[in-house]
Amino acid sequence: MKGIVPETSTTLLRDISSDAENARWPEFVARYRPMMLAFLSAQFPALDADDIVQNTLIALAGVLPHYRYAPDEMGHFRNYLTGILRNKALKQCEKDDRDRKLKVALRQEPLQKMGEDRDAEWRKSLIEIAMRQLLANEQIPERSKQIFQRVAVDGQSPESVAAAYGTSRNNVDKIKSRMLARLREIIRGLEDVGDA
């Protein structure tokens, strides 16, 4: 990847930092996209690199106004950029893994009598849809979603999740409780739509 790493242009960074719609964004993309694709190809070959690059650029547009280029103190810009790229790739891996587990779980369910299980299947579908809506809600902090996912969905202990996020067990319980309340609201809304 060495030959692909571009020289950092402070004027280019300054221009795109000051305006998310700056005319120099295509120049930035042309300069850094090959490096990002090479990184993804080497580290995450199974992912759709174009999607990850796009998500990284969107995230970058939001954080660049607060970024200060100081390589001696904070490291090179390419490291900052690949850090964002790596986070986006890891999130996609987690999502893909969740989707895969869900598909496997659905395939492994034994076929049961239609009449008896129709309500259970319908309820399960509602919960699945509600979970997706909950985790896609941009008003909920990403940290709360991650804590809820790990405790309520992945079955990790509240103590280990609290330790991983540097917070208290009580705070983890509160987040779980709030998220479950929101999930119930979404389910009620979906049930109302189904009854209409």
pTM (predicted TM-score): 0.50
What the chain holds in terms of domains, given with CATH numbers, is 2-92 (1.10.1740.10), 110-195 (1.10.10.10)
Amino acid occupying residue 52: I
The b/e string for 62-78 (b: 16+ C-beta within 10 A; e otherwise) is eebeeeebeeeeeeebb
DSSP H helices, the chain, are: 10-18, 25-43, 49-63, 71-74, 77-108, 114-136, 142-148, 158-165, 169-195
Average pLDDT on 115-123 reads 60
User: Can you give the pLDDT at residue 112?
Assistant: 47
Average pLDDT on 124-136 reads 81
- Give Dmax (Cα) for the chain: 68
Average pLDDT on 99-124 reads 60
User: Can you give the pLDDT at residue 119?
Assistant: 61
